[in-house]
Structure 1
Amino acid sequence: MAKTGKIAAFALGEKNTAMVNLPAQFVTSSSASAKGQTYSNLVDYANNSEKTSELNNAAITDLIALKEQFNKRGYANRSTAVTETHPIFGEEKLNYDNHDISQLRKQLDEAQANGSNIHELAFSIRGDWLVENNLYDPETQLIDQNKLKHAEQEVAKTLINKGFNLPLGENEKDVVWFGVIHQDTDHLNMHLWFAKKTAETRPEMIKSEGPYKGQPIGVIPLAVIEQAKRQFRKQLMGSQELMRHEEVLREVGALKKEIVESAPENVLTAKYAQDIKNIYSALPQDMKGRWQVGNTTLNSGKGGRMAHANQLTNELLDTIFSKELKTEYRGFKSLTKQYDEINIKDKGVIHKGQRKWSENKDNELRKRLANQLYRHLGQIDDISTLEIDTQMAESLKHIKQHEEAKPSKKTKKESIPQEKKSSQTQPENSAISDNMPRDTRYPQKGASFNKISRLWRQDIRAETNAARKFLKNQRQVEHEKAQEEYESMISRGM
């Protein structure tokens, strides 16, 4: 990222760059105070001439470190970067006037005096993504600042309430935050600063060891930052882009469900009985009942004592995905790769060592099927009954050949009364069975297979019912929320 020195002259035509970057940083009150820095220096409500600073117009190649921003007077609302008279905004207002800024400065200095950290997160948004989602018109060089600010207001709640072991504020008035939009860089930048006003005394929110023992926790987990980025993107997406995302995800989910539901009837057949017996034999018997793929993938070669069974299971799934479930699996893979392309537009090119979304989804599918199989194999007592099923196809073949080789007695049989025909047919079949070699008789399907299949299907039904119940509850919550909002509007006379 670099400064352009111009308003809303964002770079366009970029490829494989992230839609939103969200680096996070924080400064402790003790380190800031030791350098004579005050949190309130991050804002300034002086007139336009005082907002301009040569320091702020210098070319940069990356986001300015928070610890350096204190010395850049007027950094938050420098005139080269903003178009509004009152560009700073917060939780309740999109444009803070001079009085609001004065109160903001007091609250920031109060937070510093009470030993709280000051946090900053910077949203760097690609110009092409802004255009695609109707947030920026490159011809007029206008951006939809209100929509951007509303999105940051919502994300601020997530970061403040979910970014730590407990909500940062001990009540809704215990956190001070403000934001600003900067337009003089090749990507649009939005900044968010926040701090807890009162002194932190909760043990869960204080470092218990290390060089910063006794100070408030400052690091926000990466998982929360990623959640904030997803929330931010979703709020700003145009309806068409959002529908495209949701449509692909729905289709991926539908195909995954179809594959999972079809798995028992395709895996638990005579054709693969020996494969399953081999998998069972490879499983560590002293861990029976606790067989899991673990924190790895089926084809990684890892997994400790489960590694060999994982490999055999992965090979079995490869076979089924190339034959019985070829159409469904091919569709699943195609759709997940489509979502890879969407992710590259949103998040940037995949770096070395990172797995694509499609790879993660494929691994999840395989792991789910493997764990289901392991769980049900752990509930059978005698795997030897699976051997019966390996003979089934061959038995059918031999019986068919035997029947075709017999001389036809159709005419004679047709003249026999029905009750006699029945009595004569049974001995004939019995003779065939008695004369056939033992390993080619038509056996009943193995009891173990039946049990595994029954348990597997019970699992699928339970998951489906749980998903339906969850969606029903979600719809109820949304309905109640909409009703509350409507009643609130009526009570306000809107």
Structure 2
Amino acid sequence: MAKTGEIAAFALGEKKTAMVNLPAQFVTSGTADMKGQKYSDLVDYANNSEKTSDHNNESITDLIDLKEQFSKPGYANRNSAVTETHPIFGREKLNYENHDISVLRKDLDEAQENGNNIHELAFSIRGDWLVKNNLYDPETRMIDQNKLKHAEQDVAKTLITKGFNLPLGEDENDVVWFGVIHQDTDHLNMHLWFAKKSRETRPEMLKQEGKYKGQPIGVIPLEVIEQAKRKFRNQLMSSQELKRHQAILKGVGGFTKEIVETVPENLLNDRHAKAIKQIYDALPQDMKGQWQVGNTKLSSGKGKMAKANLLTDQLLDDLFSKELKPEYEGFKSLAQEYDAINIEDQGVMHMGQRKWSENKEDELKKRLANQLYKHLAQIEDTSINDIDQQMSELLSHVKKRDKSNNIDKTKIASSPQGQKLPSQPLINNVNPNSKHKGDQLPVRGSSFNKISRLWRQDIRAETNAERQFLRNQKKVEQEKAQEGHESQISRNM
């Protein structure tokens, strides 16, 4: 990241660069003490024109090592990087005045004296993304700094409360944090520094072994940082961009729901009888009742479920290429459209990094496979020979029926969409000692009709649960909006 030497002269046209990067770093109090540095050196009083020499900061690229920042007095609010007279902000205020800075310095020094780490996260935001979301006008070089600060205030809560084994502070006032917006590099940068004030004594927050035993934990898990990035991005998106994202996600969800609901009638019929029989045979019987794909892809070829998973993956691919081709292609097309959005927001994928569409496809296949395994477990144990014989009889009868009805399957398979073979029940719940009737395939104590019925019941239960969740979410959002409205009214009174 290069220093431009100008304010808000951000680079544009960088389509392969992430919308926001969020590097995180921390410094221990011991390291700072050893070098004679103070946490409070990061900030100075708001009117820092005499206290901070811009000449000392000419070589700064902004996202420098936190240890280096202490050696540059007033690094956070240096004149060359900010436009506001009072650029520092925190939990309660968007602009800290001199008294606020005095309190902030005192709290930072208290945190250092009590042996706590100081953490920094830097949001590096691409100019194109700022323009697209109405946060930056390249003509006037005006930035919506208040909206950016509000977003960082919200993200700070996430990092401070969820970034460690326990909330960093033992109460709301036990954490000191501040932020600033820097505008003198080719990307807009927002910094966030925070530290616990009182001495840390909680075992969950201290290193329990190794070289740093007894010292406060410093590393924030990557998944928390990613969560913070998503929250920050969603806070700042324009309503138009949010609607575009939501429309695609809603479409993907709609196709997913349609596929899940229609799989039983398309899967549990005579065309797939042989494939399902092979899957049943491949399932490890010593794990019956615990058949799950697990933490792997269906096609990974690993574990005791590997053979059944591979066969199920092939079965689903066959289903998606024929009976459910329109629904699956719609699902995949929208999911790939969301991949393009992610590249716009997060930059070009790294080698080995999986696309969002690939993860969604894996989730869909796992869901369908696990449902199939769950209901195949309804089939009671019987000998391999019995099942083979029953399957052979069923397929033989299907051929006779097709011949007698003069059905040209090849013609039907190539006919326009919508002209599908009628779904036939694979197994009916009949007496295991009786002879098969029609297309019925006897299996002891269970049937694919029962499996299909149970599968549908599960789908309805899942759908109802999802609807209830969405209703609850909508209620929470409405309550938040009302609270915000009431708060705004009280501030204006």
Aligned match of 1:443: 439
- Work out which of the two has the higher radius of gyration on C-alpha atoms and give 1 or 2: 1
Q: Residue 305 of structure 2: SS of its match in structure 1?
A: helix
The alignment partner of 1:139 has SS state of coil
Q: CA deviation at 1:167?
A: 1.0
Tell me how far 1:489 sits from its aligned partner.
Answer: 5.5
Check conservation: 2:94, 2:146, Cα contact below 8 A: yes
Query: Tell me, what secondary structure is at the counterpart of 1:444?
Result: coil
Q: CA deviation at 1:457?
A: 1.4
Question: Match for residue 426 of structure 1?
Answer: none
Alignment correspondent of 1:19: 19
**Separation in structure 2 between the aligned mates of residue 53 and residue 387 of structure 1, nearest angstrom:** 87
* One-letter amino acid of the structure 2 residue matched with residue 270 of structure 1: D
**Shift in alpha-carbon separation, 1:18–1:486, aligned structure 2, 3 A:** closer
Q: Distance in 2 between matches of 1:456 and 1:443?
A: 21
- The Cα of 1:487 is off from its aligned counterpart by 5.1
In structure 2, give the amino acid aligned to 1:214.
G
Residue 334 of structure 1 corresponds to 333
Match of 1:47 in 2: 48
Partners of 1:33 and 1:147 lie apart in 2 by 36
Amino acid at match of 2:40: S
Residue aligning to 1:140 = 140
Q: Name the CA distance, whole Å, in 1 between partners of 2:181 and 2:329.
A: 44
Once the two structures are overlaid, the 10-residue window that deviates more, 462-471 or 2-11, is: 462-471
The residue type equivalent to 2:72 in the other structure is K
Alpha-carbon deviation of 1:476?
2.9
Instruction: Give the secondary structure class of the aligned counterpart of 1:176.
Output: strand
Corresponding position: 1:180 with 2:180: yes
Structure 2 residue aligned with 1:193: 193
Alpha-carbon spacing, 1:401–1:90, altered in 2? closer, same or farther (3 Å): closer
2:74 aligns with: 74
- Tell me the C-alpha RMSD between the 2 structures: 2.2
Contact residue 269 and residue 389 of structure 1 kept, 8 A: no
Other-structure match for 1:429: none
Q: How far has the Cα of 1:396 moved from its partner?
A: 5.1
| Mean Cα deviation higher: 474-483 or 107-116 | 474-483
Give the CA deviation at 1:206: 1.2
* 1:383-419 per-position Cα deviation (integer Å, ceiling 9, x unaligned): 6568656655653553465588xxxxxxxxxxxxxxx
The answer as to 2:160 corresponding to 1:160 is: yes
Q: Is the 8 A contact 2:398 2:439 kept in 1?
A: no
Verify the 8 A CA contact 1:121 1:192 in the aligned structure 2.
Answer: yes
Q: CA–CA distance in 2 between the matches of 1:488 and 1:59?
A: 41
How much has 1:36 moved relative to structure 2?
Answer: 1.1
For the residues of structure 1 that align with 2:459 and 2:268, how far apart are their CA atoms? 15
Contact 1:135 1:144 in 2 (8 A): yes
1:53 CA displacement: 3.0
Corresponding letter in the other structure for 2:367: R
Q: Secondary structure of 1:10's partner? A: coil
Query: Do 2:43 and 2:75's aligned partners in 1 also have CA atoms closer than 8 Å?
Result: yes
**Would the alpha carbon gap of residues 321 and 386 (structure 1) be closer, same or farther in structure 2, given more than 3 Å must change?**
farther
TM-score normalized by structure 1?
0.88
- Aligned residue pairs, count: 459
**Counterpart in the other structure of 1:372:** 371
1:450 is paired with a residue whose SS is helix
Give me the whole-angstrom Cα distance separating, in 2, the residues matched to 1:402 and 1:132: 64
Structure 1 unmatched runs, 5+: 405-437
Q: Give percent identity, aligned residues only.
A: 71
- 1:59-458 alignment runs, 5 A limit: 60=61, 63-302=63-302, 304-382=303-381, 388=390, 392=394, 395=397, 398-399=400-401, 401=403, 442-444=438-440, 447-458=446-457
The match for 2:57 is: 56
**TM-score (norm: length of structure 2):** 0.88
Over 3 Å counting, the alpha-carbon distance change for 1:103 and 1:8 in structure 2 is same
Kindly provide the CA deviation profile for residues 410-467 of structure 1, in whole angstroms up to 9, marking residues without a partner as x.
Answer: xxxxxxxxxxxxxxxxxxxxxxxxxxxx999723255421222122112111111111
With 74-83 and 124-133 compared, the bigger mean Cα shift is at: 74-83
Does 1:469 pair with 2:465? no
1:444 maps to amino acid: Q
Return the structure number with greater helix share.
Answer: 1
Contact 1:395/1:441, CA 8 A, preserved across alignment: no
For 1:79 and 1:47, the matched residues in 2 are separated by 7
Amino acid at match of 1:140: T
Q: Which ranges in structure 2 are unaligned for 5 or more consecutive residues?
A: 407-433
Change (3 A) 1:16 1:487: closer
Aligned residue for 2:71, secondary structure, equals coil
- The one-letter code sitting in structure 2 at the alignment partner of 1:86 is H
Whether the 8 Å contact between 2:118 and 2:195 is mirrored in structure 1 is yes
Contact 2:182 2:188 in 1 (8 A): yes
Q: Is the 8 A contact 1:388 1:443 kept in 2?
A: no
In the alignment, the residues of structure 1 paired with residue 173 and residue 148 of structure 2 have an alpha-carbon distance, to the nearest angstrom, of 23
1:332 CA displacement: 0.5
2:77–2:87: 8 Å Cα contact kept in structure 1?
yes
